[in-house]
Amino acid sequence: MQVPQIALLLVQLAVMASQALEMGYYAATCPDAEAIVRQTMERQHYNDPTLAPAIIRMLFHDCFVRGCDASVMIVPTRTRSSERVAIPNQTLRGFNAVDAIKRALESACPRTVSCADALALMARDAVALLGGNPYDVPLGRRDGLQSNPWEVDLPPPFARLDDALRAFAARGFSSEETVVLFGAHTVGGAHCSSFRSRLTNPDGIMDERLRCDMLDTCGAADLPLDKDPVPFLDPDTPFVVDNNYYAQLMSNKTLLQVDQEAATHHATAAHVAYYAASPDAFMQRFSEVMAKLSNVGVLEGDAGEVRKVCSKYNTD
C-alpha cells in the first residue's frame, strides 16, 4: 500500500473511532455530567420511587424506535406530530425528571450533553437506585431530528411472544437477551387496561387467586387512563431489581400476557427457569443487556443535534 493510502486509511479509522460512543466523552467539555445526572436522579428517587421504573421503560421505548436518539421525548406541536401521540407512549412517565436533569446539565455546560446520553445515564442510575448492578455507559449519542407516531411499532402487552421475539431480534437481541430485558418487569406498575381482558376472559393460565384479587383492584369495566389503577408488576418487591419476576412467571402469577407466554415458549422457557434459579446471573446479565439496549441505533459524530430542551428540536 502506498503511503498516501495508508494516511487516508488512518484518517478514516480516526474518524470512525471519533464517532463511536466512548467512556469519558464529556471529560473535557462537561466533566461533571455523570455526577449531575446521578445526584438529580438520587434526589428525585427519594421523593418518588416510581420514577426509576418509568425511566427504565422510557429508555426501552426510546431505543426501540429509531434508536436511542431521544425521539421519544419530543412533544407534538400544532404542525408536527411525534412518537408521544402513539398508544404505547400514553403511559410513559418521567418526562419532567428528564427536563429537570437537562436543565441542570444546561446550566453547567450549555449545548453539550445530548438528551439521548442524559436518558442512557438516567436509566443506568435508575437500575442502580433499584438495587441493580452498576454498568458503564459510553457516551456521545446525538439527538434525532425525527419523531413519528407511525414508526412506534412496540409490541403490545397482548402480543404473541413470537411477534415480540421478532421485534427484539430485529434490534439485535437474542431470545435469551429478550428474556433478560423482560426482567425489567420486576419493577414498577401496569395500568389495568394492559391486562384487564385476562381478568374478564380467564385464559386458564393466570393463577385464580391473582385473577380474583386483580378483578377487585381493577374492576371489570374499562376506565380512562387517569382513573385506571396501576398495580405493581412484582407486588412483593416493586422497587427492587431482582429475579422474582421469573418465579412469578413460573407460578402463573404475572399480569402481562406476553410475559406469561415466556414461561412456556420453546425459545424462552429454559431461560426463564434458569434466571428464576440464578439470582446472581440475572443481576449481571440484566446490567449487561441494559447497556446493550442503551446503544441500539445511536446517532454519532455530526448526525442529529444536541437539543437544548429535550422536548423540542432546536429549530422547528
DSSP string spanning 81-93? --GGGSGGGGG--
Helix (H, G, I), strand (E, B) or coil at 109: coil
Is 247 or 258 the residue whose CB approaches ligand HEM more closely? Answer: 258
Nearest approach, Cβ of 191 to ligand HEM (angstroms)?
Answer: 3
Q: Does 187 bind ligand HEM (CB under 6 A)?
A: yes
Q: Does 154 bind ligand NAG (CB under 6 A)?
A: no
When CB distances are held under 5 to 8 angstroms depending on the partner's kind, the choice from ligand NAG, ligand HEM, none that residue 252 binds is: ligand NAG
Binder to ligand NAG among 38, 57, 84, 285 (CB under 6 A)? 84
Residue from 185, 197, 227 nearest 56 by CA: 185
Angle at 39 between CA 33 and CA 44, to 5 degrees: 125
Q: Does 164 bind ligand HEM (CB under 6 A)?
A: yes
Residues in the chain: 316
In this structure, the dihedral spanned by the alpha carbons of residues 197, 202, 205 and 209, taken in order and rounded to 10 degrees, is 100
Residue from 272, 280, 307 nearest 103 by CA: 307
Rounded to the nearest 10 degrees, the angle between the axes of helix 269-277 and helix 279-293 is: 120
Binder to ligand NAG among 252, 278, 284, 295 (CB under 6 A)? 252
Longest dimension (CA), the chain: 77
Total interface residues for ligand NAG by CB under 6 A: 9
Binding mask 99-138 for ligand NAG (x = CB under 6 A): ----------------------------------------
Which range binds ligand HEM by CB under 6 A, 51-59, 99-107, 127-135, 214-222? 51-59
Binder to ligand HEM among 60, 245, 282, 313 (CB under 6 A)? 60
Binder to ligand HEM among 40, 44, 45, 53 (CB under 6 A)? 53
When CB distances are held under 5 to 8 angstroms depending on the partner's kind, the choice from ligand NAG, ligand HEM, none that residue 165 binds is: none
Radius of gyration of the chain (CA): 21
When CB distances are held under 5 to 8 angstroms depending on the partner's kind, the choice from ligand HEM, ligand NAG, none that residue 84 binds is: ligand NAG
Binding mask 216-235 for ligand HEM (x = CB under 6 A): --------------x-----
Q: What CA–CA distance (Å, rounded) separates 203 from 259? A: 14
Angle at 214 between CA 210 and CA 220, to 5 degrees: 135
Cell output for 273: 427457569
Q: How would you class 14 by CB atoms within 10 Å of its CB: exposed for 0-12, middle for 13-18, buried for 19 or more?
A: exposed
Q: 63 φ, ψ to 5°?
A: -70, -25
The position carrying cell 412483593 is 236
Q: What CA–CA distance (Å, rounded) separates 230 from 214? A: 10
Do 72 and 61 touch, CB atoms closer than 8 A?
A: yes
- Catalytic-residue membership of 191: no
Residue at shortest CB range from ligand HEM: 188
Q: Does 204 bind ligand NAG (CB under 6 A)?
A: yes
Is 61 or 285 the residue whose CB approaches ligand NAG more closely? Answer: 61
List residues near ligand NAG by CB under 6 A.
84-85, 89-90, 92, 204-205, 251-252
Q: Which residues are catalytic?
A: 61
List residues near ligand HEM by CB under 6 A.
50, 53-54, 56-57, 60, 91, 93, 155-157, 159, 164, 181-182, 184-185, 187-191, 194, 230, 256, 258
